[in-house]
Amino acid sequence: MAGRGNPHISCAAAAIGASAFPFAPAFAAVSAVTADVTVVTGDGKKILLRAADVEDFRAGLRGQLLLPGATGYEDARKIFNGMFDRRPALIARCLGAADVVRAVRFARAYELLVAVRGGGHSLSGQSVCDDGLMIDLSLMRGVRVDPNERLTRAGGGALLGDIDRETLPFGLVTTTGTVSHTGAGGLMLGGGFGRVARRFGLTCDQLTSVDVVTADGQLLEASATENPDLFWAIRGGGGNFGIATSFEYRLHPFDGRAVGGHMVFPIEQARQALRGFGELFDRASDGLWIEPILTTTPGGGRALVMDVCLTEDLESADAILASYRRLEKPLKDTVGPVHYVQLQTQDDERARIGGRYYAKSGFVRQISDDLVDTMLEIIRSAPVPRARIALPPKGAAVDRVAPDATAFWHRDALYSVLLQASGDDAAEDAANVGWARSQWPALEKFTAGFYANTNLSEMPSARVRDAYGGNYERLLSLKRKYDPTNLFRLNANIDPKGVATEVG
């Protein structure tokens, strides 16, 4: 984008084109590696790396290489889901594409087990590994906006909030998800849906170009004209094809004005409200996004919450929302004029970083009466204090793209169903996980396909190929081309051997 228009470069842009920036990161000095390091390879073998080789790797990084015991190691290995307490042998905290190239070449040379950390929000803990190499992009959060071209370029570790906060002041937006501390990279790679996806399409539909370090340690640009097969695969194919060091997204005019908030219905009315909602939302306009959530409440009760966001036709908001308000009598209704960024951050605390989460999800085509009854039975009888079943919506612009236009296949699913149990205490994990696992089969029968971004490694009955549907065979051949040794395996993994991976 350089040289075009009048681009705004955010002050947080330290990581993009980072070699152009004169300042060094405020890192504590990391001491030289003097002892050999035991690591694990991708196929689980333990090997010993010579101290001199690890030191050579460390010394060539602009960022840091952290080993257990180093200052910053304990923080760097933490991810969003506190259930995962894994200890990589090496953490490469990259500051730019050159660091990522170096880390990938080092990993490839020794066939190391590699975890790639973007925003760290993999619910199933894919971004951290025991005894392998964690390639950490979390310092690469720069966002650059070109208002004239309506494009934004974001670093491989940028968070959703980084993008919203940089683009909205220019009256521009792209599709992101609903919790601002989620990583944009991981979200895009699997598809990416959120409050404006029905208007503009999935996050992966906004991608115009991406820089990718492939398994052979090459930095490639992928776009409609450069490496178009990789560009196709990376838009929905997960982290299988390489490490994306920066993403360029299309932006859309949007002044940030929205009508949104929560309508809360008593659980006794949830059956009628949800059934009515399903019929209404089938005909909803592109600008309306409503996520129904059945949830436990702090006092031990249950409720139906409808999380609402309208971003178009605001002058008709009352008329558009009236039929939803009439579904039943809301106990509480906070829906009103609000800035979009406020909606985009309203769940940040509920989805607390470091909390302990267990979730299962699948795509559903419609809200049938049987699905509603099953959801209610599950939430009513939930013995765990913090349980929820959400139906995040898609449809409209998402479904107007052909399923084979990008690697994201499940375009026609109007919703996902997401079952989640969470807690703060490790002592609650067994009960939470046990409950969610035991209830999932009843919900799973309403699903068709899975989201590559949600907890696949924890879905015993799922097959990864169901996440990619009719695109699986093409993705498999591209996996064989770009990552024949399966260096990038900690994701919704397409095994180049073509094994229909049973995960769990």
Contacts with ligand FAD, residue ranges (CB under 6 A): 79-80, 116-123, 126-127, 137, 156, 177-179, 182-183, 185-187, 189-190, 192-194, 239, 243-244, 351, 453-454, 490-491
How many angstroms separate the Cα of 385 from the Cα of each of 38, 236, 262, 483? 41, 34, 21, 43
> Nearest CA to 277 among 293, 258, 261?
293
Token output for 19? 């070699």
Q: At closest approach, how far in Å is the CB of 55 from ligand FAD? A: 26
Q: What is the dihedral of CA 418, 180, 346, 435, to 10 degrees?
A: 30
Contact (Cβ atoms closer than 8 angstroms) between residue 159 and residue 140: no
Of 435 and 488, the one with the shorter C-beta distance to ligand FAD is: 488
Of 192 and 261, the one with the shorter C-beta distance to ligand FAD is: 192
Q: Which residue is nearest to ligand FAD (CB)?
A: 186
Contact (Cβ atoms closer than 8 angstroms) between residue 185 and residue 243: no
Q: Is 126 strand, coil or helix?
A: coil
Q: At closest approach, how far in Å is the CB of 135 from ligand FAD? A: 8
Q: At closest approach, how far in Å is the CB of 182 from ligand FAD? A: 5
Of 140 and 320, the one with the shorter C-beta distance to ligand FAD is: 140
- Those residues whose C-beta lies under 8 Å from the C-beta of residue 316, and which sit 6 or more positions away, are none
Of 267 and 494, the one with the shorter C-beta distance to ligand FAD is: 494
Q: Exposed (0-12), middle (13-18) or buried (19+): which is 473, by Cβ within 10 Å?
A: exposed
How many angstroms separate the Cα of 445 from the Cα of each of 227, 289, 363, 376, 448? 39, 25, 11, 15, 8
3-state percent breakdown (helix, strand, coil) of the chain, nearest 5: 30, 25, 45
Contact (Cβ atoms closer than 8 angstroms) between residue 220 and residue 226: yes
Q: At closest approach, how far in Å is the CB of 354 from ligand FAD? A: 12
d(Cα 115, Cα 134) in Å, to the nearest integer?
5
Q: At closest approach, how far in Å is the CB of 242 from ligand FAD? A: 7
Q: At closest approach, how far in Å is the CB of 197 from ligand FAD? A: 8
Of 361 and 376, the one with the shorter C-beta distance to ligand FAD is: 361
Of 439 and 493, the one with the shorter C-beta distance to ligand FAD is: 493
DSSP 492: S
Q: At closest approach, how far in Å is the CB of 40 from ligand FAD? A: 17
Of 213 and 476, the one with the shorter C-beta distance to ligand FAD is: 213
Token output for 499? 């094994």
Q: At closest approach, how far in Å is the CB of 36 from ligand FAD? A: 27
DSSP 157: T
**Cβ neighbours of 300 (radius 10 Å):** 7
- Indicate the helix (H) or strand (E) that contains 291: strand 288-296
The residue behind tokens 């004005």 is 257
Of 120 and 201, the one with the shorter C-beta distance to ligand FAD is: 120
Of 115 and 327, the one with the shorter C-beta distance to ligand FAD is: 115
Of 10 and 81, the one with the shorter C-beta distance to ligand FAD is: 81
Q: At closest approach, how far in Å is the CB of 210 from ligand FAD? A: 9
Q: At closest approach, how far in Å is the CB of 322 from ligand FAD? A: 27
Of 33 and 490, the one with the shorter C-beta distance to ligand FAD is: 490
Contact (Cβ atoms closer than 8 angstroms) between residue 173 and residue 252: yes
d(Cα 118, Cα 136) in Å, to the nearest integer?
7
As beta bridge partners, residue 443 has none
Q: At closest approach, how far in Å is the CB of 345 from ligand FAD? A: 12
